[in-house]
Structure 1
Amino acid sequence: MGLAERRRVLGYSQEKLAQLLGVDRTTVGRWECGKVAPQPPQRRGLATALEISLQELDLLLTPPRAVVEETAGHQSSDPLSAGDDEMIRREFLRILTVSGAFTALSAEDAEGLAEGMSPGVPADFARMNGHLWQVYRLARSKSAVYPVVRDQLTTLNDALASNRGSPRPLLSAAADLFQLAGEVAFDGNRYAAAAASYSLAASVSKDAGAYDLWACALVRHAYVDMSEQRYRHAAQMLGAAERLAGRGDSCLSTRYWVASVQAEAYAGLGDLEACERAMDRAEAVRDLTSDSVDCGWLRFDGARLAEERGSRYVRLGRLDLAEKALKDALGQTALASGQSYRRRGAVLTDLAVVGVRRRDIDQVVEHAREAIELARSSGSGYTARRLQALCDEFGTLSRDHRVAELEAEIAALCAP
């Protein structure tokens, strides 16, 4: 059964379902033919209207694309395909199996296993992982990094299985790599794969006794919850991350990153005071030395605080505060020196949202058009997702031909 069949079973026309969800009828039509997928905030309402779970909704949304690809007689060119998702899940389970054996051993037994192992192996993995994070940050298309991550994961598994390294450092390297795999999946809008990656990163971090890695895995998992507007769940996850970070290395910036993301969850809950307190705690990261804020899987140095503060003010409806912070941030995200397309795209989209809420069409067009070009250049699912959420704000502004053109371009950008 597909999405259209389920709608008809419940007796809804496309118009009626669109009315229930507060979207245009053509949006429902695009969902049903697989041209575009519902955004995270829309998925929960759609599942509720169709009286199914989010997992069942995923199954209803999958067939159209699969049928198109089969009929066309070619394999998807997306480096991060469903087959790759399954392969990396198998690798996760293999590492969990091996790590379970290590954690069951006594300390003396574990030391015995380490005798005769190459001391360079764990350090080699740490260096390679650090290099992969750097490549990921600079890559225009994040999914292009995935095949290398998969190969590194396979090599790491072989090292664990053959006892070619000290167990705990290798497990830390595995937790690090799982988080990178999750980031690639999240950028590609593969929320289930991202959540699985972060959950397993947390599990292996626990086995390794790596509190900072463990806390960062929970922070990244909280982003999955926030992408679906489950801010209360995210706040609970971040509370656990805060406690873990308190047991971690005080020279690292983990606790300050946790505070910054807590501010986002509080903004989603509409709590301005809690949001600002959390942002103030995050500002203390500036007291750390530069060597303490970048270790691959953790890169929070306060450089993004202006854009993050601006984004949270947008969510809270404080447009005056938001615009000032976002314009400050825009000057910090110039594309020179390899700075992030994704970061600049997010700031531009937030400025376009400010324009929508002020009914300033010139501001909307100026900032949204540049964000669209960045999304095209980078292939970032994250930027495309932010732009599609912008479309949901247009309302009657869509009657203006310039906004209607933007909406069409964004729909084409988000099409599978």
Structure 2
Amino acid sequence: MGLAGRRRTLGYSQEKLSQLLGVDRTTVGRWESGRIRPQPPQRRGLAAALEVSLQELDALLDPPRAAVQENAGHRSSEPPNSGDPDDMIRREFLRILTVSGALTVLATDEAEALVQGVRGGVPADFARMNSHLWQVYQLARAKGAVYPVVRDQLATLNKALADRRGSSRPLLSVAADLFQLAGEVAFDGNRYSEAAASYALAASVSKDAEAYDLWACALVRHAYVDMSEQRYRQAAQMLGAAERLAGRGDKNLSTRHWVASVQAEAYAGLGDLDACERAMDQADAVRELSADSVNGGWLRFDGARLAEERGSRYAQLGCLDLAEDALKGALEQTALSPGQSYRRRGAVLTDLAAIGAKRRDPERVVAYGNEAISLARASGSGYVVRRLRGLCDEFGPLRRDHRVAELGAEIAALSTP
């Protein structure tokens, strides 16, 4: 049975399946004909919708020999992958561009004077507006609602740069800040190419401004694009460059601690428990910074989320008891204030559901999973939806439980921005 056969068995038309996955109907047709294959983020949603594992999906994506021969006899003039953006190649190019830029500057004389481009001389009106936009983004349930304002601010800033007399470094720092925010909005909406492009631009502009902390943060955010596709080795390379940049930045900022926190996630993905724990310990040292340390806007790491991050890393590594203790503590923290992020709480709930799946506990999977689904619907967050679709990969034999199967169907039906 091929992909089309499985779709028909479940009673889906191409139109219905495309609506569930947020793609065009012709894309489903090209998948079924074997002309293109789903991108990694699409594979998880497709597997969940068809109620199969990723390994079973791979088998379905290989069309029967007879079908291949029939297609060869009726070959269309449409070239392979026509109309389907080659996002993987573009993201890889942008990733290489970002890393190579960092390594180039780090090879220069270490005695070179550092310039505080981030915090020195930025026009007050732009700086205040950026800070406000980050606050709005952090509190917004639907992150995409912030994008039009970010776009307008970039247009205004572009005009200011064109009219600038003298040093443009302060305004370049503001631009790099905004590009990172634009990337965050795109990443939350699962628009990976747009996010990668925004982060690459942020890194490039930060380099011109000689703003090392801002530059390092752009690389950290870019690394998340790789990790969203489980490309942990590439993410570790990106984060290594970010670590070296942060080492040249402002020691009063938490940049280097945030880099360590994200490195822990990459090490967990690579299965390296010792390196993961070392990185988490380095991240935990953020608590030693003075109370008046600058922390906000493009850099928002103060250690408040370390419990849930540690729990998530332990879950990745299969240390379930340690993971569950940390995540339950984090869940209590997110319930204390109504202002806490829906996205943050949804991620914790999804991790707890994944632990339930590893323990073959359907009640726990369904309880935590349904609460996370409610938050995903309330917030419109593509990030929570992406985490939930990753949860479906953990179901294993629990798929035969009708409650877990219903949960999987609910996740497959979630739409992303």
TM-score using structure 2 length: 0.75
State how far apart, in whole Å, the 2-side matches of 1:273 and 1:120 are.
42
8 Å Cα contact 1:205/1:213 also seen in 2 = yes
Report the alpha carbon displacement of residue 332 of structure 1 after superposing the two structures with TM. Answer: 1.2
State how far apart, in whole Å, the 1-side matches of 2:268 and 2:16 are.
29
In terms of fraction of residues, the more helix-rich structure is: 1
Q: Which residue of 1 aligns with 2:21?
A: 36
Say whether 1:360 aligns with 2:361: yes
Cα 1:255–1:141 shift into 2, 3 Å: same
Cα 1:17–1:196 shift into 2, 3 Å: farther
Question: How many residues get paired?
Answer: 340
Q: Which residue of 2 aligns with 1:264?
A: 265
8 Å Cα contact 1:307/1:325 also seen in 2 = yes
Q: Deviations over 1:155-180 (max 9, x none)?
A: 00010011168511100000000000
- Residue aligned with 1:372, SS: helix
State how far apart, in whole Å, the 2-side matches of 1:121 and 1:268 are.
38
Query: What percent of counterpart residues are identical?
Result: 73
State how far apart, in whole Å, the 2-side matches of 1:172 and 1:26 are.
53
Q: Which residue of 2 aligns with 1:201?
A: 202
- Residue aligned with 2:157, SS: helix
8 Å Cα contact 1:159/1:165 also seen in 2 = no
State how far apart, in whole Å, the 2-side matches of 1:61 and 1:294 are.
37
- Residue aligned with 2:20, SS: coil
- Residue aligned with 1:292, SS: coil
Q: Which residue of 2 aligns with 1:326?
A: 327
Report the alpha carbon displacement of residue 410 of structure 1 after superposing the two structures with TM. Answer: 1.0
Q: Which residue of 1 aligns with 2:170?
A: 169
Report the alpha carbon displacement of residue 302 of structure 1 after superposing the two structures with TM. Answer: 0.3
Q: Which residue of 2 aligns with 1:80?
A: none
Q: Which residue of 3, 8, 24 maps to 1:14?
A: 3
- Residue aligned with 1:189, SS: coil
Report the alpha carbon displacement of residue 361 of structure 1 after superposing the two structures with TM. Answer: 1.1
Q: Which moved more, 1:173-182 or 1:39-48?
A: 39-48
Q: Which residue of 1 aligns with 2:134?
A: 133
8 Å Cα contact 2:220/2:242 also seen in 1 = yes
Which residue identity does 2:324 align to in structure 1? E
Report the alpha carbon displacement of residue 50 of structure 1 after superposing the two structures with TM. Answer: 7.2
TM-score using structure 1 length: 0.75
Q: Which residue of 1 aligns with 2:318?
A: 317
Misfit runs of 4+, over 4 Å: 15-18, 24-32, 41-51, 56-59
**Unaligned 5+ residue runs, structure 1?**
1-11, 19-23, 63-118
State how far apart, in whole Å, the 2-side matches of 1:58 and 1:375 are.
33
- Residue aligned with 1:270, SS: coil
Q: How does 1:222-237 map onto structure 2 within 5 Å?
A: 222-237=223-238
Report the alpha carbon displacement of residue 392 of structure 1 after superposing the two structures with TM. Answer: 2.0
8 Å Cα contact 1:40/1:229 also seen in 2 = no
Say whether 1:157 aligns with 2:158: yes
8 Å Cα contact 2:161/2:171 also seen in 1 = yes
Cα 1:381–1:26 shift into 2, 3 Å: farther
State how far apart, in whole Å, the 2-side matches of 1:250 and 1:379 are.
37
State how far apart, in whole Å, the 2-side matches of 1:47 and 1:158 are.
50
State how far apart, in whole Å, the 2-side matches of 1:369 and 1:269 are.
29
Q: Which residue of 2 aligns with 1:298?
A: 299
State how far apart, in whole Å, the 1-side matches of 2:186 and 2:199 are.
10
Report the alpha carbon displacement of residue 352 of structure 1 after superposing the two structures with TM. Answer: 0.1
State how far apart, in whole Å, the 2-side matches of 1:264 and 1:380 are.
21
State how far apart, in whole Å, the 1-side matches of 2:371 and 2:270 are.
30
State how far apart, in whole Å, the 1-side matches of 2:282 and 2:2 are.
50
State how far apart, in whole Å, the 1-side matches of 2:236 and 2:170 are.
30
Q: Which residue of 2 aligns with 1:392?
A: 393
Report the alpha carbon displacement of residue 300 of structure 1 after superposing the two structures with TM. Answer: 0.2
State how far apart, in whole Å, the 1-side matches of 2:12 and 2:40 are.
14
State how far apart, in whole Å, the 1-side matches of 2:269 and 2:15 are.
28
Which residue identity does 1:213 align to in structure 2? L
Which residue identity does 2:413 align to in structure 1? A
Q: Which residue of 2 aligns with 1:274?
A: 275
Cα 1:388–1:39 shift into 2, 3 Å: farther
State how far apart, in whole Å, the 1-side matches of 2:307 and 2:13 are.
37
Which residue identity does 1:230 align to in structure 2? R
Q: Deviations over 1:80-135 (max 9, x none)?
A: xxxxxxxxxxxxxxxxxxxxxxxxxxxxxxxxxxxxxxx99722111100000000
Report the alpha carbon displacement of residue 60 of structure 1 after superposing the two structures with TM. Answer: 3.7
Q: Deviations over 1:18-51 (max 9, x none)?
A: 9xxxxx9889968963531667466598899679
Q: Which residue of 1 aligns with 2:408?
A: 407
Report the alpha carbon displacement of residue 14 of structure 1 after superposing the two structures with TM. Answer: 1.3
Cα 1:136–1:312 shift into 2, 3 Å: same
8 Å Cα contact 2:122/2:174 also seen in 1 = no
State how far apart, in whole Å, the 2-side matches of 1:306 and 1:31 are.
40
Say whether 1:243 aligns with 2:244: yes
Q: Which residue of 1 aligns with 2:374?
A: 373
State how far apart, in whole Å, the 2-side matches of 1:150 and 1:157 are.
11
State how far apart, in whole Å, the 1-side matches of 2:166 and 2:298 are.
21
Q: Which residue of 2 aligns with 1:178?
A: 179
**Unaligned 5+ residue runs, structure 2?**
23-37, 45-53, 64-79, 87-119
State how far apart, in whole Å, the 2-side matches of 1:168 and 1:59 are.
40
- Residue aligned with 1:299, SS: coil
